[in-house]
């Protein structure tokens, strides 16, 4: 029960940060939004690690943490890009299929899922296919469906890798796992940003946007911490699925603030996918 509650807290933090990050990426350069939010998260984690005064774990755990940071960086970049150019209410549920990755990894390792887990996995995949169906009528929403699905899938793969790697990294020291993951993501984003700036791209952020983008970083590190702690209290497959309910938060905020509407077939697909997530969580 504690693992589920912690994962639900993580889903709330991720859901709000996804909405705010995607929203800001519509008016500010994506790399700038990523760098400011990730750098803020890095500062917060660094303070926590320094205050604890404990040295780093062995290299194996740090490598898993670095892999988690790389996966999350790819996932967040794809998610924010999708949320900025696509339809939030489509990108979010597609990205929520990320638990399929740890479930598939379990199959490779010989962890055969039970009946309810198999049903949940099937529902998640069927829901993804249904969500991808285009409505008969044209329009802006139809034109944005393709990018929404593609970026959502890339985000799902990145988050799935993050779920697996952070679970392994958190077996020793959660704070160091989060710090190493954040260092990796910030280093990757900074490298890309330097290259883009050298090519003459302007990546400035308005001063008025900085507090909101910084808040995104605080929410991310809070959610990551709750998720990492949850993996030490329960099975990673279940924790990853419950954490992926952040899509519900993102869709709710998009419906309230952006008045996004979906075709009926897409609503059915989203509902089917979420039912799959809930079925996996019930195992």
d(CA 226, CA 11): 9
d(CA 73, CA 258): 26
Q: How high is the pLDDT of residue 137? A: 52
Q: Is the pLDDT of residue 66 over 70?
A: yes
Using one digit for the tens of pLDDT, what is the confidence trace for 137-158? 544 456 677 788 889 899 989 9
Q: Is the pLDDT of residue 98 over 90?
A: no
Residues near 250 by Cβ (< 8 Å), separated by ≥ 6? Answer: 15, 18, 19, 22, 83, 88, 92
Q: Is the pLDDT of residue 8 over 70?
A: yes
| Two tokens, residue 236 | 């990673």
Quick check: 283 and 46 in contact, CB under 8 A? no
Quick check: 238 and 4 in contact, CB under 8 A? yes
């Amino acid at each position: 029960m504690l693992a589920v509650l912690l994962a639900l807290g993580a889903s709330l933090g991720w859901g709000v940060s996804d909405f705010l990050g995607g929203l800001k990426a519509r008016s500010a350069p994506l790399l700038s939004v990523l760098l400011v939010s990730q750098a803020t998260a890095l500062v917060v984690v660094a303070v926590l690690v320094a205050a604890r005064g404990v040295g780093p774990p062995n290299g194996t755990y740090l490598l898993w943490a670095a892999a988690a940071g790389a996966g999350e960086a790819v996932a967040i970049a794809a998610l924010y890009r999708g949320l900025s150019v696509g339809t939030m209410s489509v990108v979010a549920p597609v990205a929520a299929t990320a638990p399929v990755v740890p479930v598939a990894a379990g199959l490779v390792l010989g962890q055969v899922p039970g009946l309810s887990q198999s049903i949940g996995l099937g529902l998640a995949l069927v829901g993804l296919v249904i969500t991808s169906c285009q409505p008969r009528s044209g329009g802006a929403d139809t034109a944005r469906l393709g990018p929404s699905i593609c970026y959502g899938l890339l985000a799902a793969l990145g988050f799935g890798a993050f779920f697996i790697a952070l679970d392994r990294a958190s077996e020793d020291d959660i704070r160091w796992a989060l710090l190493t993951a954040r260092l990796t993501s910030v280093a990757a984003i900074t490298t890309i940003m330097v290259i883009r700036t050298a090519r003459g791209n302007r990546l400035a952020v308005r001063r008025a946007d900085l507090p909101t983008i910084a808040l995104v970083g605080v929410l991310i590190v809070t959610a990551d911490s709750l998720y990492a702690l949850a993996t030490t209290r329960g099975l990673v497959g279940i924790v990853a699925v419950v954490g992926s309910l952040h899509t519900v938060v993102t869709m709710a905020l998009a419906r309230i603030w952006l008045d996004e509407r979906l075709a009926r077939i897409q609503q059915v697909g989203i509902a089917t996918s979420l039912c799959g997530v809930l079925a996996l969580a019930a195992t």
